[in-house]
């Protein structure tokens, strides 16, 4: 079983695929396999893959019609055997020959189930300039509004066994859906590593995903309700009030009532814990005065810190 499986969905990718294959051949760390999940290319894609197999002995090719890019990715994930899985676009490339070598230590030692680094932008995308680095460490709250670049993520194989494959209902942002499913329930870790040079030409750069966006409020409501005991998620519960206002203004009164009612339910779940904390503070012993303790005078505090 290799440490890393590289899944590459392709479809008539001959113009760019060679650069990705060259970056894989150049890797100094060799404990990886490559799974090319092709949709039936009619150009040079398959020829390039077969040529690269001479230098990448653990490269396999599965070429047949698919139902879109995430169907191809799911097929590649099922065909792979590595302990960790990374999904690369056929027009991307690994950032440097030492990329997998540098990633191997956290992959071998970390207890996280999703480890991600950054990408270097090969082209401008929105406010992100070409040549800049995207995206850094994201909190769960930030992940609700901004996705991690898929080409920078290593998924532990067990995640797919526990939470399923990419949801084909989401034609563009199925990766975002999976990332949220994982981040709500499993430990994730950001590593200070540029994993991939990202071409920024895929489907997710050309438009949104109406089904994903429509499902987002209900997805969050269900997650918060099922994980109501996790104190670190309590600050996110106020998002339900925002969603309730959103639905109210659009005349969707039933959805507004559902989200507002869920917020009240979660508040009721929190109340015993908050009351218990208040009682603990009320009965906590008062620390005796120690006259030897240094006194911090106002002049010692320095300039005020902005919040």
Tens digits of residue pLDDT in 11-38? 999 999 999 999 999 999 999 999 999 9
The whole-number pLDDT of residue 307 equals 32
| Whole-number Cα distances in Å, 14 to 4, 43, 90 | 24, 6, 9
The whole-number pLDDT of residue 277 equals 54
Tens digits of residue pLDDT in 159-211? 999 999 999 999 999 999 999 999 999 999 999 999 999 998 876 666 789 99
Entry pTM: 0.86
User: Residue 126 pLDDT > 90, yes or no?
Assistant: no
What is the sign, positive or negative, of the torsion defined by CA atoms of 209, 215, 221, 224?
negative
Give the pLDDT band (50/70/90) at residue 274. low
152-190: b (≥16 Cβ within 10 Å) or e: bbbbbbebbeeeebbbeebbbbbbbbbbbbbbbebebeb
Q: What domains can be seen in the chain, in order of their start residue?
A: 4-203 (3.90.550.10), 210-282 (no CATH)
Neighbour count for residue 8 (Cβ, 10 Å): 27
Q: Which two tokens stand for residue 165?
A: 């494959």
| Whole-number Cα distances in Å, 257 to 144, 228, 262 | 22, 19, 8
Cα 238 from Cα 245, distance rounded (Å)? 11
Going by the DSSP 8-state scheme, the letter that residue 301 receives in this structure is S
Instruction: Give the chain's mean pLDDT.
Output: 89
The whole-number pLDDT of residue 287 equals 45
Comparing 106-110, 160-164, 171-175, 298-302, which segment has the lowest mean pLDDT? 298-302
Cα 154 from Cα 176, distance rounded (Å)? 14
The whole-number pLDDT of residue 113 equals 97
Cα 158 from Cα 146, distance rounded (Å)? 25
Reference 126, options 210, 209, 205; nearest CA is 205
The CA-CA-CA angle for residues 59, 63, 64, to 5°, reads 155
Cα 115 from Cα 178, distance rounded (Å)? 13
The whole-number pLDDT of residue 248 equals 97
């Amino acid at each position: 079983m290799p440490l890393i499986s590289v899944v590459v969905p392709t479809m008539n990718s001959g113009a760019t695929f060679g650069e990705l294959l060259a970056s894989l051949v150049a890797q100094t760390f060799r404990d990886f396999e490559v799974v090319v999940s092709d949709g039936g290319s009619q150009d040079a894609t398959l020829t390039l893959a077969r040529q690269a197999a001479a230098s990448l002995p653990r490269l396999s090719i599965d070429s047949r019609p698919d139902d879109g890019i995430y169907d191809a990715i799911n097929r590649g994930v099922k065909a792979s055997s590595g302990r960790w899985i990374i999904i690369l676009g056929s027009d991307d490339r690994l950032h440097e020959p030492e990329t997998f070598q540098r990633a191997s230590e956290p992959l071998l030692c970390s207890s996280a189930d999703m480890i991600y680094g950054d990408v270097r932008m090969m082209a401008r995308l929105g406010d992100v300039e070409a040549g800049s680095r995207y995206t850094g460490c994201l909190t769960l709250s930030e992940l609700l509004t901004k996705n991690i670049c898929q080409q920078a993520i290593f998924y532990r194989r067990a995640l797919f066994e526990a939470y399923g494959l990419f949801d084909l209902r989401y034609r563009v942002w199925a990766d975002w859906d999976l990332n949220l499913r994982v981040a709500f329930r499993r430990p994730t870790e950001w590593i200070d590593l540029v994993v991939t040079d990202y071409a920024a030409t895929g489907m997710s750069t050309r438009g949104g995903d109406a089904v994903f966006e429509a499902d987002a409020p209900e997805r969050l409501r269900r997650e918060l309700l099922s994980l109501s005991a996790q104190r670190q998620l309590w600050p996110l519960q106020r998002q339900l009030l925002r969603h309730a206002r959103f639905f109210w203004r659009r005349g969707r009164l039933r959805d507004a009532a559902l989200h507002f009612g869920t917020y009240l339910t979660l508040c009721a779940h929190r109340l015993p814990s908050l009351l218990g904390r208040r009682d603990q503070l009320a009965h906590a012993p008062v620390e005796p005065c120690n006259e030897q303790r240094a006194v911090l005078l106002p002049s010692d505090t320095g300039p005020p810190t902005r919040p």
